[in-house]
Structure 1
Amino acid sequence: MKNVKKITGVFILIFLLIGGFVSAQDRAINPNHLPKAAKTFLAGHFKGISVSSAIEDREIYGVDEYKVYLNNGMKMEFDSNGNWKEVDGKHQKIPYGFIPVSIKNYSSRNFPNTYIVKIEKKRWSYKAELSNGLELEFDRNGNFKKIDD
C-alpha cells in the first residue's frame, strides 16, 4: 500500500511539473511582431510615444493576448487578433479617439472636472475609471449602467 501511495505521489508531481511548463508562457517580443490591428491602434492613438516592451502571452492553443508597455508608463492589452481589451493610463489621461462616443459624452457631461485614466472592454460591457477614482460601467453599446466606486 505504501508503494502505491509513493507511485501516485510521484505521478502527481510529474504531472504538476509538466503542467507548469506547458501552461501560460509569457515572452518578450519585438513590437514589430504585434498583430497589425495592435500596431495600427498604437500608431493612431499613441503616436510619438514609443513602446518600451511588448509581451506575448502564450497558452497551449496559441497566443492568448499581448501586453504593451509605453515609455510614458501606460499599459495596454490586446487580444490574439490585436484588438484592444484594456488601456491603462496609470493615472494619466488616455486618448479618447477609440473610446465609444457615448462613454466619452457621459463621463465629460456628468463629471466635467475629470478624465478617463483607464478603460476596459469586456465581452458584454465597458468599465471606465475616472481620474477621481470612480469606475463607471457601461453596456456593450456604451449606455451607462452604474457607478462602481
Structure 2
Amino acid sequence: MKSLKKITSLLTFILVLSAGFIFAQDRAISPNQLPIAAKKFLAGNFKGIAVGSVIEDREIYGVDEYKVYLSNGVKIEFDSQGNWKEVDGKHQKLPYGFIPAGIRNYVVKSFPNTSIIKIEKERWSYKAELSNGVDLKFDKNGNFSKIDD
C-alpha cells in the first residue's frame, strides 16, 4: 500500500512538473506583437536601431515579460504591460531620455566622465551601473541612496 502511495505521489509530481514546462515557455515573436508601451519606448529612445529579436516569456498564468535584443547589442526587458524593467547597454552608453532626472543629474554631477551602461527598475528602487564599473542604488524617486557592492 505504501509503494502505491509513493508511485501515485511520484506520478503527480511528474505531471505537475511537466505541465509547468508545457505552459511556461519562451517563444520568439515579431516586434509588432509587443505591447504599445514597449513599442513607444523603443521608438522614443532607440529610434533608428533595428530590433534583432523579441522573446516572449510565458508562464502558466500568461506573459511574464518580453526581452528585446537590438542590433547594436542592447538588451531591454519589459514587463507584461510593456513597461521597461531593465536596459543593458552591454558596455555602451544608454540614452538618458527614459532615465529619471534625479539619477541622470546625480551621475552627471558626481561622475562627470562616466555614463550609465545598465539600469534596472526594481519594485522600490533603481540600480544603475556606470561605465567605470561602479554600481549605484537610488530610491523609487531617483534620489541617491548608496554605492552598491
Contact 2:20/2:60, CA 8 A, preserved across alignment: no
Is 1:119 paired with 2:113?
Answer: no
Tell me the alpha carbon deviations over residues 86-125 of structure 1, each in whole angstroms, 9 at most, x when there is no partner. 1000000000001011101101111111100001111211
Matched, 1:34 2:34: yes
Letter paired with 2:94: I
Q: CA deviation at 1:15?
A: 2.6
Which residue in 2 is equivalent to 1:51?
51
TM-score by length of 1: 0.93
TM-score by length of 2: 0.93
Consecutive unaligned residues of structure 1, counting only runs of 5 or more, are none
Of all paired residues, the percent bearing the same amino acid is: 68
Q: Distance in 1 between matches of 2:103 and 2:48?
A: 25
Distance in 1 of aligned mates of 2:9 and 2:22: 20
Provide the rounded CA distance (Å) in 1 between the counterparts of 2:49 and 2:136. 27
Structure 1 residue ranges (4+ consecutive) displaced by more than 6 angstroms after TM superposition: none
- Output the CA distance in 2 between the equivalents of 1:30 and 1:84: 18
| Aligned residue pair count | 148
* Equivalence for 1:21: 22
SS of 2:72 mapped into structure 1: coil
Show the counterpart of 1:102: 102
**Which secondary structure state, in structure 2, belongs to the residue aligned with residue 40 of structure 1?**
helix
Q: Relative to 1, partners in 2 of residues 1:102 and 1:39: Cα closer, same or farther, differing over 3 Å?
A: same
- The equivalent residue for 1:133 is 133
List alignment gaps of at least 5 residues for structure 2. Answer: none
| RMSD, aligned CA | 1.3
Cα shift at 1:37: 0.7
Question: Matched residues in 1 for 2:73 and 2:37: separation?
Answer: 21
| Segment drifting more, 122-131 vs 2-11 | 2-11
Measured in 1, the distance between the counterparts of 2:72 and 2:106 equals 27
Q: Which amino acid is the alignment partner of residue 104 of structure 1?
A: R
C-alpha change, 1:116 and 1:9, in structure 2 (3 Å) is same
- Cα distance in 1, alignment partners of residues 17 and 126 from structure 2: 36
CA shift for structure 1 position 54: 0.5
Distance in 2, matches of 1:89 and 1:43, equals 16
Cα deviation for residue 14 of structure 1 reads 2.7
Pairwise CA distance, 1:2 = 3.2
